[in-house]
Amino acid sequence: MSISIRGTVHKYGDNIDTDVIIPARHCVSIKEDDLAAHCLEDLDKDFVNKVQPGDVLMAGSNFGCGSSRENAPIAIKGAKVGCVVAKYFARIFYRNAINIGLPILECPEAVDGTEAGDNLEIDLKSGQIFNRTKNRNYQAAPFPETMQEIINAGGMVNFVRKRIGK
């Protein structure tokens, strides 16, 4: 099954840390809606007003560096971001994003060839990123099947519940 995401790009730079994604002063909850209201507010105060369901958050290198808290990918997922594309992710953020079911892809070429406001179509199964604005294709490494199943289930907890229920 192919999962396709279509949305507008919101692009930021390198080394976006977890304290920028969700400031610590708002980490009194783990509820998506509570965290989403403050997603990226210290970097872009209008992000939560601009982002639409399915939009793509794009960044440079080392996205999600800093603390290991899961609040950061939860805030992004709660903001209804369809996918995060970066040159590369901090490893703990990468793991936390998969665990909570936030689709992420590493693709330096797509980051370099895309601008804020571009419209992307992403096929998560194949890793294909199509920039509809510039009519250009990019290829990210697709996730292994089990990781795709975790994302499709909405995260590790739902994945395990589904498997136990069988």
Domains parsed from the chain with CATH numbers: 4-165 (3.20.19.10)
User: So what's the pLDDT on residue 133?
Assistant: 98
SS3 113: coil
Which pLDDT value is given to residue 166? 65
**What are the E-state strand segments in the chain?**
4-11, 56-59, 83-86, 104-106, 119-123, 128-131, 136-139
Write the pLDDT tens digit of every residue in 19-45.
999 998 888 878 889 999 999 999 999
64 CB-contact burial (10 Å; exposed 0-12 / middle 13-18 / buried 19+): buried
The answer on pLDDT for 2 being more than 60 is no
Look up tokens 């440079």; give the residue.
Answer: 60
For residue 74, the model assigns a pLDDT of 96
118 vs 148, residue with greater confidence: 118
Mean pLDDT throughout 1-6? 76
